[in-house]
Amino acid sequence: MSAKRLLMGRKQPVETTMMTTLDDAELDRTRRPRTPLQGFGAFLGKGDGDVARVLVLLLIVVVIGLVAPNFISKASWMALSQTATVVALLAIGQTFVIITGGIDLSVGAVMACSAVIGAVVMRELAAGGADPSIAILVGLVTSLGIGSLAGLINGLIITKLRITPFIVTLGMLSVATGSMNLISGGAEIVGLPPQLGSIGNTPLGGWFTVPVLVTILVAVVAGVALSQTRFGLRTFAVGSNQGAARRVGIGVDWHIVRVYVFAGFLAAVAGFLLTSRFVSASTMAGTGMELSSIAAAVIGGASLMGGRGSILGTMVGALIMAALQIGLIIAGVASFWQTIAIGIITVAAVYGDQIRIKYSGERS
């Protein structure tokens, strides 16, 4: 085969006077004029809708407060903050997962499973005459280990076997629930060191219990990690465009694994705090919590399409969920209604996210 062979000079440099700039029309799209209504819309949308979320939370508090005036009291704050703690911890892990474009249906089951197994360890050590603080410490480490292990398995199956997160974590929900019942015999674990109760119930400064303070600390650390660190930025990148993240050199698989481990770890933290509050571990504690955590994250602005979400939003979402739950109890509404309400709210929040995507005209 013969090919043409030529020696050529280089093309002359092009004129550089013609700048590569945007049309005025293109620039204008970034600063449209505002009507008062649009101005109000923009106000609500501030901070990716955080202003709107806080207003919704206040509205719920005011409405329930009008129906049941004793809702606005220290007692209901203590109940609300304790309830919000569990939802918030699960939802923080869930937020990271959702931002990567995944979902973790196993957080509730992993929370219960790690708490129950940790409790069994504490009970056995205490029964064997071990020092209570040693028993509690070993129980804690066991719980955290089991939660992280569940997350690790989720992450590895999702990334190595390429099975969708929905199915993998649904499977984990079942496996964790089954393992928990196998080990516990399906019964609530009692007979734990009583010192646990002082971790879970002592109000520091009168208003905040240890679980609430731990949750606030976790939220601050997670919020800073998500918004200020490379790990956070890459979490968004993976969820926004996984192929792109891979091609710019981000270790996508390892990143996803770490995010699921984090969610499992936080589920275990939530489970341990719950055990410390009741000085017992219930096999039913996780039921329905996956949906609550997803609802809190989505109300908080996380997009199930991936690439969007914030810890501040998720915390407000968790407070909204808890306010509804406690508020409905105080208002005397049967607890089955709560379950119905959570289902409706979750679907509504996802619908709201889709509407936002549609009308913002983004993502083409």
Partner 1 sequence: MTTIDPSTADVVLRVTGVTKHYGHVQALRGVDMEVRRGEVVGLVGDNGAGKSTLIGVLSGATTPTEGAVEFEGEPVSLSSPSHARDLGIETVYQDLALALDLPIWANLHLGREQRRPGLLGALGFLDKKAMIASAEEELRTTRIRIGSVDARTSALSGGQRQAIAVARATARGSKLVLMDEPTAALGVEQQHRVGELVRHVADRDVPVILISHNLPQVRELCDRVLVMYRGRIVAELDPAIEGVESMIRWITGAALESER
Task: Please report whether residue 231 would count as binding partner 1 according to CB under 8 A.
Answer: yes
Task: Please report whether residue 354 would count as binding partner 1 according to CB under 8 A.
Answer: no
Task: For the CB of residue 224, give the shortest distance to partner 1 in the complex, in Å.
Answer: 8
Place of tokens 């891979």: 246
220 residue type, one letter? V
Task: Please report whether residue 2 would count as binding partner 1 according to CB under 8 A.
Answer: yes
Task: Please report whether residue 332 would count as binding partner 1 according to CB under 8 A.
Answer: no
Q: Which residues lie closer than 8 Å to 344 by C-beta, 6 or more apart?
A: none
Q: State the Cα angle at 86 between 158 and 329, rounded to 5°.
A: 130
DSSP string, 31-95: S----HHHHHHHHHTHHHHHHHHHHHHHHHHHHHHHHSGGGSSHHHHHHHHHHHHHHHHHHHHHH
**164, 198, 229, 354: which one binds partner 1 (CB under 8 A):** 229
58 residue type, one letter? L
Task: Please report whether residue 220 would count as binding partner 1 according to CB under 8 A.
Answer: no
Nearest to 297 by CA among 53, 77, 62: 53
CA 78 to chain centre: 22
Q: Which residues lie closer than 8 Å to 321 by C-beta, 6 or more apart?
A: 84, 87, 292, 295, 296, 299, 342, 345
* DSSP for residue 202: P
Task: Please report whether residue 244 would count as binding partner 1 according to CB under 8 A.
Answer: yes
**10, 32, 129, 185: which one binds partner 1 (CB under 8 A):** 10
**73, 133, 228, 354: which one binds partner 1 (CB under 8 A):** 228
**Among 21-29, 138-146, 203-211, 277-285, the segment contacting partner 1 (CB under 8 A):** 21-29
Task: Please report whether residue 27 would count as binding partner 1 according to CB under 8 A.
Answer: yes
**Among 130-138, 180-188, 224-232, 254-262, the segment contacting partner 1 (CB under 8 A):** 224-232
Task: Please report whether residue 335 would count as binding partner 1 according to CB under 8 A.
Answer: no
**85, 114, 240, 282: which one binds partner 1 (CB under 8 A):** 240
Task: For the CB of residue 237, give the shortest distance to partner 1 in the complex, in Å.
Answer: 5
**11, 33, 161, 206: which one binds partner 1 (CB under 8 A):** 11
**24, 26, 33, 161: which one binds partner 1 (CB under 8 A):** 26
Q: Which residues lie closer than 8 Å to 278 by C-beta, 6 or more apart?
A: 200
Closer Cβ to partner 1, 277 or 308, answer by number: 308
Taking each helix axis as running N to C, give the angle between helix 252-278 and helix 230-240, from 0 to 180 degrees, rounded to the nearest 10: 110
**Among 6-14, 181-189, 195-203, 312-320, the segment contacting partner 1 (CB under 8 A):** 6-14
Task: For the CB of residue 17, give the shortest distance to partner 1 in the complex, in Å.
Answer: 10
How many angstroms separate the CA atoms of 350 and 295, rounded? 8
**36, 185, 243, 332: which one binds partner 1 (CB under 8 A):** 243
Task: Please report whether residue 33 would count as binding partner 1 according to CB under 8 A.
Answer: no
**Among 88-96, 210-218, 303-311, 322-330, the segment contacting partner 1 (CB under 8 A):** 303-311
How many angstroms separate the CA atoms of 323 and 328, rounded? 8
Task: Please report whether residue 253 would count as binding partner 1 according to CB under 8 A.
Answer: no
Task: Please report whether residue 356 would count as binding partner 1 according to CB under 8 A.
Answer: no
Alpha carbons within 13 A on the beta-carbon side of 37? 0
How many angstroms separate the CA atoms of 265 and 114, rounded? 10
Footprint of partner 1 (CB under 8 A): 1-11, 13-14, 16, 18-22, 26-27, 29-31, 225, 228-231, 233-234, 236-237, 239-241, 243-250, 306-308, 362-364
